[in-house]
Structure formats: structure tokens, C-alpha cells
Structure 1
Amino acid sequence: MSFPLLPIIIGSASAVIGAAGLTSGTIGAKKLKEANERVEKSRLDYEKERKTLETIDKKTLYSLKKLGKLKLETIQDFELFALAFEQIKNRPSFETKTEELPHIPKVPLKKVEKLQVASTEILGTALAAGGSGALIGFAAYGGIMSLGVASTGTAIGSLSGAAATKATLAALGGGSIAAGGGGIALGQLVLGVAVAAPIIAISGGFALYKGQDYEKKSHEIQNEVKDVLKLIAIAVEYLKELRSYTNDMYSEIDKLRCVYLDEVEQLRKLVDKNANYNNYTIEEKELVDINIKLVAILYKLTTQDLLQPSNNKEEQQKLLKAEIEETLETSKKVYNQLTTDIKY
């Protein structure tokens, strides 16, 4: 018995099966293409925001480095006052005069002098090493030198010489900011592991591999990137705020320092001519008062911390907004009062 239609039927069935396979392959290729496009868009979104974060990170580091250097140089300048003031016979109490300033705690002159000595060594060490870690650390945690405690349990402010330098650098994290991290060195230090780690970790995760469920994996990457972009937005806003306060602090210290350098030079000339406070005119006594108050407010500014370190590396360091704003406001009031009193 012959089956004349069998070849036709078999041929038709093969064509149908072949067409189904081709359609299935086309759908698979389309899904893979869509998955790759989804991953690539996520990667581009991430790279764009990552660059924004790296840019603000570098700008903030630069601002902190400038502030740290200015703080240390300003503290070094306290020596000019100390040399002149200590030559004055029958001089007023430095501590008593500082109490006349609003919101400025009484500052012992010896504390100012110890800070001045330590700052010289810190700045020298930082510049000799060619690194900026100590400068950045001092900008952010300026009060560590006067209020900090060394690993031995001794107050850093009570140490001197190499011991003060070593203790301060140790308190500032060894005097260096960790390198690497894909360009967010500062971010790693202040944002905490919970924010910084996912931002860094995801950078190597934009790939689909043979054997994976491409569609499922691409959606996972897309969702992970969305979460990371939220973290980046938090990080960018935080660093922008930190940089803004850093620049405000720099401007205020620089302004007061210019006035101080002029006034302390006038004091030096006065002391060279007459070192007896009892023989000073009212204007000359006011000059002494002005110098004391300038040193006191500059001491307050240069030891004002910007950040409060956290013992938990997972947590973001607290930006001390209220404290910084109060110090800046006090400084502005003192500046306005003193510039009114100054007789040019």
C-alpha cells in the first residue's frame, strides 16, 4: 500500500515544527536583547550618578584640606600674641577677659599655647609627608587636639612635642584618608559602611552570564541599582552640606585672622614701646582687650568640629549643624563688636 500524501504531511509537519523553533528562538533573542538593554541603562544611570558623587567627594576633600591648613596656620599665629602678651607687666587676666564674650567658655592661656605648639608639629608632619590626611582630619575634627584623649588615656592637650603629634595623628585615623574606593575616599570615611559599601560593590555587577535566567537577573540588577541611586543621592546631599559648612568656616576664620594679624602687630609695637599695662591709655588697653578676644574667638573657630565620629562603622558620621551654626553666629557678633571698637 502506498501513501502518496505521507511525504507531504511529514514535510508540512516539519515546516510547522521548524517555524515554531524559529519563533521560539526569535522570542529568546528578543528577551536577551531587552535584558541586556535593561542592564545597560541601569549601568549608565549608575555611572552618571557615581560621577556626580565622585566630583562632590573630591571638591569636599579639597575644601576640608584648605580649612585644615588654615586652622593650623591660624593656631600657629597665636604665638605672636603669646610672645607680646607675656611681656606686659600688670596685664589683665586672659581667662577673665574671655568670659566677657557671649557663648565662649573661659579659655586658659596655657591651653591655647599648648595647642599652638602641637599645631606646628602637626602641620610640619603633614607637609613633610606630602599627604593631606592630617589636614582633612583636623578640619573635620579640630577639637580632638584640645579635647581628645590619647590611647594612653592622657588628654592630648596636655601632651607636647612628638608625643602630642603622634597622639593627634592616631586620633585622626593615622593622619591619612584611605585611598581607593573608586574615587569616594571621603565618602567611605564619613558615610558609613551601610551607605558606601553598596555604592562601591555594585560597580562590578553589570553582566549577564550564560546559563542565567537573563530576564530575572536583569530585573534584579535594575532594582539593585535603583536602591543604590537612592544611597548615592543621600551621599551627595550629605557631602554638599559638609562642603558648604566647611567653606563657611573657612571664610569666617580667614576674615577674623586678617583682623587678628593687623591687631597683634599693633600690640607687638605697643609692647616694644611700653610694657607696663598700668601706664596704657584707654585706647591701648582696648587694643589688649581686642587681641585677647580675637584669640578667644579664633580658638573657638579652629577647635570647632564639623563631624561627630561614630563608634559604629555602619553608621554615617553626624554633621554638627547646630554647633557649627552657633559658633559662626557668635563669631559674626564678636567680629561686628570688635571692628566697631578698633580705632584705625
Structure 2
Amino acid sequence: MGIFEGITHSEEIQELLDDAQSQYDSAKGRLDTQKKNTTKSLEKLGKEKVHAWSKDMNKFLDSFGSFNNVQMVCKIDENYNFLGKNETPNELMVNMRNASYNAGEIIKAGALSVGTGALVGIATYGGVAMFANASTGTAIATLKGVVKKNATLAWLGGGSIASGGMGMAGGTVVLGGVVVGAIAVAGGLIAGAKGKAKLAEARRVHAEAESAVSQMNVVITGMQGIENVSNNYRDFISKLSGLFTPYLKEMDNIASKYQRGSDGKVDFNDLSEMEQKTLHLSWLLAQLYYHILSAPLLNEQGEIEPSSRQLLQKAQQEYVQLTGQATELENEKKKINDLLVDAQKTFSKASQSYYKKKQTTSNKLIDIGKNRIDLWEKTFSPFMDSLSNFEDISVSNTYPYSVTDIPIEFIFESSDSVLSYIKRLRTSGIDALGNTGFVEVALFGGEDFLGELSQLDNDNNAVNSVHRHNMSLWFTGELDPTISDNTPFGEVSDYYISTVKQTVDGISGRENLAQASAVNQEVKDLSNKIGRAVSDFDATIKKIGIIEKTLKKYNKIQAKFLKKIEEIRAEHQTANETVKYDLLSEAEKRVFEMSFVMAKIQYTILASCILTQSNGGDVDDADIVIDTANSAYRSLMRDSFKKAGDDDIETINVMWKENADRAMVVGFATAAICIAVMIAQLIAGNLIGLVGIAGVLIAFPIFFYFKNLSQNKLFMWRCIRIAVAILVVGAAEIIRLVV
């Protein structure tokens, strides 16, 4: 081609060189951009590690250092080459301390003072350079020294030659197996070939450019890999910090609960199970933090450390496991907290219910005591007044329906003492008896208590001079505290309640699940016992109500006998003189005898106690007395129903008149029903309804022809007529329906 080659091929040469330049510039631009991105990512990771060492790890060392005798275990998977996996706990702690101190020095000096290269070094080679002995300036100098010795770090973080870095001419810099400095040669060839290159030279330069572009793509890919690994590590460190930080505060909270020893530290053995678990988990998190902060991303050749991705993957697995442990720990804490909150609520509700019910019961007992004093008067004053009109009363105590073996003479004497004191009390004012006195009467009948008072002079201290049951004093708060605290009502005492309260209050914050469960169960047991005690309080008031109701029933029956006795007095008394008992007929004497039986029933019911040993009383005889009284009276009614002798006619008429009168009312009602049925059937055109007239005649209680019948026979006769009337009318209705 000769001398015309340059002219003939100039256009092709120019195209080759322009294309080489374009490809090279484009690749170099992407290389520079990726370098900046990679450097920026590593710089951020370096700052993240410095912050983690200086803040989180330093805080851990301070908080964890508040405890001694901690059983530390190094938890490392032997299949992965974690930095420091062969280090003892003490060696780990020393390295953590040095790295944290040096990181703190960097923070004080300012991150910019160490340069981007040093931060990149921290990012890529972990905390190795930071584990040197801690002293001012050592960390910074060491890090800068690492940068100077490592061409890759100098190239990534050092910048251009003018700024002290190695620039693109760093011939020893190798990334992805490519010598970075060699890439710059291609750029020089392109620049030197312009304007004077021959076609062959242009083709060679173009080939060199393509080779350089290919190498730059390899370097870009390598830096992208470094950036990705860097970003992944930074994200993981941030996530791990979020899990780790709360435990730093929690350790401080735990340490603040305990008194420190002479060495200024808290003994690990003094901690609760949950607190020990918290410290153990904090130590495991610190180890994981240590390993991930120390893990190198690049090897000495500037290539990605093959195990770095595996280490991060393993660290993430460890993170998941520790997160699971943290969740279990938090769930356990929540369960403990829920148990204790439930225990506190249950205790508060139960104890308030107990004391409120006790106070309410005390107030009711005071009112009941006043009412029971009235019952003493209403029950025995009429009886004693009636007997005062007779003399030489002699009643054989062989009557078979008595509820007590107490002689009637003793009942007379005791009742007279009680009534005399009540009369005196009415004069001085009923409130002089005091709240405890009223409760004493309500709970224990008051027969002994009021009888003793009647023997004493009328002074203000008389009530305090006689025996009062502890339970009466307990209800009104007058019992000595040392005795009161241990006085049980049911299975509950003030001491028992206060002991459980101390347990509930004392365990908070220093508990474990077993203790919390035990406390919760103890409170539930107390609550159940209090529930039974509250029921006993209610049962006490209810039982008193039954006593009063039963007593009023027999007072009503006694009133009939007293009315009969008054008729006997009116018949035999002359000139207001007392009536001699011997002058009475046997039937009249039987009225007296029955009245005395009723007096015994009234006395034993009125004087009965209503608390048992289990709920603080001496003995509960109220139920027995009431059952015995009712049983005796039923037997008496049953036996008297069969008798018709003149000796019993008076008592029979007294006891059966009310029943006979009731039968009369039922007879009228039955007759009215028969009339209604008859009218309804006649309106419907059923002449069988006329049978209702027979029912009316049979049921209608016209018994004036039988006025001399005893009341028991009258009752029986009326019941028979009612039954026959119902049978007649009912049979007529059945016949109507069948026909």
C-alpha cells in the first residue's frame, strides 16, 4: 500500500481509535462510579463498626462489668472460622475492651481524621487493627499503617496520587485477579496512537482497549461484590444492634436492684433465674456482635474473603436463634408479669372483699345484738309476768318433748337475771352495752354475758369486767393486735393475709416462672379461703335470721299458751291474790306444763351460739337446737292429734286451733271453686255441673253444730270434707269428658 496507506485507511484508523476511546472511557466511568460506590459503602460500614465498638460494645462492657461470678460460655460453631473462636472469655473481654477504647479514640478525634482509607480498612479487616493495646493515638496510627501496607485499601480509600493515594497507577493493586494498574496502560496507548497510528497499530490499540474494558468489567464486578457484602454486613450490624441495645439497659436495671459488694459489683448468684438468663443472653449477643464486627471482608490480596458470606449467613442463623431465645425470654417475662399482675389483682380484690364483708358483718351483728335484746324481753317478760300470778307452781319435768335437760328453775333464774339487767340497761341507755357487747349477744346468745352483768354494779367499766369471746372483740377491733392477727375466721387470719401480701410485694422484679406460678397459686388459695370465709360471714347472718324466725314462730305459739294461762288466772283469781297452783285442774296444769316446754325451746334457741371452732366460735349449737325443737314440736303435734282426753283438751285446742282455722279458710276456697266450676258447666249446657252443688255443700265449713269438738278433730273433719268435695266435683268432670 506504500505511502498511501495512511491516507487510504485514515478513516478506518480514526474509527478504530475513536471506538477504543469510547469503550475505554465508558468502562472507566463505570469503574470510577463503582469505585466511589464501593468506597462509600465500605466507609459507611467502617463508621458503623466504629460506632458499634465505641457505643454498644463499650456500654456492654460497663454494664456487664457490674457483675461478678458470671458463668460465661463461649458459644462458637466449630465449623466456621470465626475470628476469636479459640479465645477464652477473658481474652474476648480484653479484645472487646481494647477495640472499644480505640474506637472511642477515633470518635473523639473525628472519623475524618483517620481518613477514608482507615475507615475502609476497619470495614474490610474488621477489628483486628483495633485490638492493639489501648493508648491514645495508637488506634489511629495503626489503622493508617494498615492502609499504607495494603495496596487495595490505598487504592479504594486513598484516592488519587495527588491526594496521597495510589491512583490508577497502583500496579500492585489486584481486584478479581486483575492488576488494576495495567488497565491504565490501555488509556495511554489510545492517547499516544491518535494522529500517527497506522492501521495495524490502530487495530492493536483497539484490541488493547477491548481487553482493558473486559478487565475493568471484571474489576467492576469484583467491587460490586465487595459493595454487596459490605451493605449486607452493615444491615446485619444495624439489625443486631437493635436486638442488643435493650439488654444493655436491662442489665443496668438489674444491677440497680441489688446492693453491691466491697468490689463494687453485684454477685451473679444473688440474681433471680430470669435475671441470670438475661445476662447470659446479653453475653451471647455480645459474642455474636464481636465476631461479626471482627470478621474480615477481604483477604490480603484484596479479594473477597471466601468465608465472609458463609460467616454472615451463619451469623444470621445465630441471630435467628438468639432472637428466638430473646422472644422466649420476653414471653417468659410476660407470663411472669401476667401471673404477678393477676396475683396482685386477685389479692387486692379478695382482701378488700374480706375486710369489707367483715366490717359489714360487724355492723349487722351490732344491730342484731340490739334486736336480740328486744327478743329476750318479748320472749320472757310475758312468760315471767304470767307466772307471777300463781304460787307454788310444781311442774313435773317428765314431759317427753323437751329440747334440753336444763331445769326450768334454772331457766327462770337465768331469764330473770337477763331481764333485770336489760331493764337497768333501758334506764341508762341501750348504747351503754357497747358495740362489742351487742356483737357478743348476737353471736353467743348473751345469756351468760348479760347474766354476769346483772351481778355487777352499774358502772361504765362493767362491760369490760365480764367475759367476752375473742371473736366478739375481733369483729369490733377491740382484740389485742397480737392476738387479733392470728385469730382465724374460717381458714383466714390477718397474719395470713399480710404474709401473702408481703410475698406478692416482695417478689416483683426478682422472680422466675416457678416462683411467679407459686405466688399466683398461693394467692388463688388465699382467695378461695377468703371466698369460703365470706360465705361463712353470710352464713352467720343467715343463721341468725333463721334463729330469729324460728324463735318468733315459737313465741307466737307460746303467746297462745300465755293467753290460756291468763284465762285460767281470770277464772281462779280473786281480789288480785295469787292463784294456788294446786287448785287447777289437770287439763289446766297441762297448759302450764306445755308452756314450760315452750319456754325451754325459746330459751335454748335464744341462748344458742352460732359460730363453730372452724370460724372462730366455741361451739355452734343453733342448728342442733332448732332441729331438735322442730322435731319435738312435730312429735307433740302428731301425738296430740291422736288424743282426745279431758286432760289434754286445753293444750290440744291451743296447738290445733290455727291449723283448724286454716282448714276452714281452705274449705271456703274449695266451696268457691266448686261454685265457679258449676257455673262454667251450666253456661256450657252441661247439666252435670249441678254436681258442683254437692261439692259446695260438702266443702262449705258450717260446723257450728260441732262447736264442742276438739280443734284437732275439727281440723281432721274439715280436711276430710274438702277432700270429698274435690273428689265429687273431679269425678263429675271426668265423667263429662269420657261421655
Would the TM-score normalized by the shorter structure come out above 0.5?
A: yes
Residue 152 of structure 1 corresponds to none
Asked whether the 8 Å contact 1:101–1:334 carries over to 2, the reply is no
Q: Secondary structure of the equivalent of 1:170?
A: helix
Tell me if structure 1 keeps the 8 A contact 2:116–2:158: no
Distance in 1 between residues matched to 2:247 and 2:168, nearest whole Å: 37
Normalization by structure 2: what TM-score?
0.38
Write the letter of the residue equivalent to 1:301. Answer: I
Deviation string for 1:28-59 (max 9, x for gaps)? 53411111111101111111111111111111
Matched, 1:180 2:130: no
SS in 2 for 1:160: coil
Aligned counterpart for 1:162 among listed residues 100, 119, 137: 137
Q: What is the one-letter code of the residue matched to 2:188?
A: G
Percentage of pairs with the same residue: 19
- The answer to whether the aligner puts 1:191 opposite 2:174 as a matched pair is yes
Q: Structure 1 segments of 4 or more deviating over 6 A?
A: 181-184
Is 2:7 aligned against 1:29?
yes
Q: 1:92 aligns with which of 30, 52, 71?
A: 71
Equivalent residue, structure 1, for 2:647:
none
1:81 aligned residue (47, 60, 80): 60
Q: Which residue of 2 aligns with 1:268?
A: 252
Return the match for 2:102 from 118, 125, 128.
118
- Match of residue 274 from structure 2: 283
1:47 and 2:25 equivalent?
Answer: yes
- 3-state DSSP of counterpart to 2:137: helix
Q: Report SS of the residue matched to 1:180.
A: coil
1:245 counterpart residue number: 229
CA contact (8 A) 2:23 2:210 kept: no
1:223 Cα deviation from its structure 2 partner: 1.4
Contact 1:56 1:239 in 2 (8 A): yes
Partner of 2:303: 318
Aligned ranges for residues 289-308 of structure 1 at < 5 Å? Answer: 289-308=280-299
Alpha-carbon distance in structure 2 between the residues aligned to 1:171 and 1:217: 42
What is the Cα deviation at residue 214 of structure 1? 1.7
CA–CA separation in structure 1 for the residues paired with 2:295 and 2:284: 17
Runs (5+) with no aligned partner, structure 1: 1-20, 147-155, 311-316
- Counterparts of 2:94 and 2:179, CA distance in 1: 42
Deviations along 1:76-132, whole A, 9 cap, x unmatched?
A: 121211111222143223xxx22x343452442122111111122234445252732
Relative to structure 1, the CA distance from residue 231 to residue 181 in structure 2 (aligned partners, 3 Å threshold; closer, same or farther) is farther
Code of the residue aligned with 1:69 in structure 2: it is: K
**Matched ranges for 1:324-343 at <5 A:** 324-342=308-326, 343=329
* Kept in 1: contact 2:158–2:166 (CA 8 A): no
Contact preservation (8 Å) 2:13, 2:198: yes
Q: State the partner residue of 1:150.
A: none
Find the aligned partners of 1:128 and 1:28 in 2 and give their Cα distance: 54
2:169 touches 2:184 (CA, 8 Å); kept in 1? Answer: no
* Equivalent pair of 2:169/2:181 in contact (CA under 8 Å): no
Higher relative contact order (CA 8 A, sep 6+): 1
Q: What residue identity is the alignment partner of 1:133?
A: G
Partner of 1:224: 208
Distance across 1 between alignment mates of 2:227 and 2:169: 12
Asked whether the equivalents of residues 57 and 187 of structure 1 are also in contact (C-alpha less than 8 Å), the reply is no
Deviations 1:191-243 (A, max 9, x none): 26962112223223324466x45212211211111221221121111111111
- SS of structure 2 residue aligned to 1:252: helix
Asked if structure 1 preserves the Cα contact closer than 8 Å seen for 2:118 and 2:146, the reply is: no
Secondary structure at the aligned position of 2:309 is classed as helix
Q: 1:289 to 1:33 in 2, by over 3 A?
A: same
Shift of 1:187: 10
SS class of match (1:341): helix
Alignment correspondent of 2:425: none
Provide the secondary structure at the position in 2 that maps to 1:102.
coil
**In 1, are the aligned partners of 2:102 and 2:138 still within 8 Å (CA)?**
no
**Would the alpha carbon gap of residues 128 and 41 (structure 1) be closer, same or farther in structure 2, given more than 3 Å must change?**
closer
Alpha-carbon distance in structure 1 between the residues aligned to 2:13 and 2:135: 63
- Equivalent residues, number: 300
Aligned residue number for residue 241 of structure 2: 257
Q: In 2, are the aligned partners of 1:144 and 1:168 still within 8 Å (CA)?
A: no
Aligned mates of 2:279, 2:215 — CA distance in 1? 52
Deviations along 1:260-318, one digit per CA (max 9) or x if unpaired, are 111111111111223332222221111101111111111101111111124xxxxxx23
Residue 213 of structure 2 corresponds to residue 235 of structure 1: no
Q: Contact 2:101–2:134 (CA<8 Å) still a contact in 1?
A: no
Report the alpha carbon displacement of residue 186 of structure 1 after superposing the two structures with TM: 9.2
Answer whether contact 1:39 1:218 (CA < 8 A) is retained.
yes
Moved more, 266-275 or 292-301: 266-275
Taking structure 1 as the reference length, the TM-score comes to 0.78
User: Alpha carbons of 1:68 and 1:205: their partners in 2 closer, same or farther (altered >3 Å)?
Assistant: same
Distance in 2 separating the partners of 1:277 and 1:201: 65
Q: Distance in 2 between matches of 1:287 and 1:194?
A: 50
Q: 1:144 aligns with which of 128, 134, 138?
A: 128
For the 8 Å contact 2:122–2:143, the answer to whether it is kept is: no
- Judged with a 3 Å threshold, the aligned counterparts in structure 2 of structure 1 residues 89 and 141 are, in CA distance, closer, same or farther, namely closer
Q: Is the counterpart of residue 135 in structure 1 residue 119 in structure 2?
A: yes
Instruction: Output the aligned Cα RMSD.
Output: 2.9
Query: Is the Cα contact below 8 Å between 2:103 and 2:139 reproduced in 1?
Result: no
Kept in 2: contact 1:101–1:293 (CA 8 A): no
Question: Is the CA contact 1:300–1:327 (under 8 Å) kept in the aligned structure 2?
Answer: no
**In 1: Cα distance, 2:197 partner to 2:305 partner:** 47
